Structure 1
Amino acid sequence: MLPEGKICFVELKNETGRLSSLQKNKIRELKKLGCDVIVAYSKDDVDRFISCCQEVMAE
């Protein structure tokens, strides 16, 4: 959870991973509720996400 009650979710996949229909629907629902959702396909994606969260928390 980030400041102001903001919630972020990360779906981890390998480089060739695909989202299932259920996952796509859930991501759509979470975004409609105002949550941030990213799909990370690599360690670099996860590192960028963590850096972004740290910047938001530092504000």
Structure 2
Amino acid sequence: MTRPTPKEIKAMADVAGVPVDAEVATRMANSIGPAFEGFAAIAGTLPFDLEPATFLLVQAAEVAK
């Protein structure tokens, strides 16, 4: 988990359909950067079941049972 750069944020926003200019991307990077630095010490150590991206997959599997 690394601190995102303004270039990465702009690319992600463009893909998401919410284009932002370079100044806004820079402000976003500066705003969320400290959160990434704060979690750097535990990055990759959380149990997989706490990963939010898998929520829908787990929810669907429980419904299918």
- Per chain length, whose mean CA-contact separation is higher, i.e. which structure has more relative contact order (CA < 8 Å, sep 6+)? 1
Rg larger in structure: 2
TM-score by length of 1: 0.37
**TM-score, length of structure 2 as denominator length:** 0.35
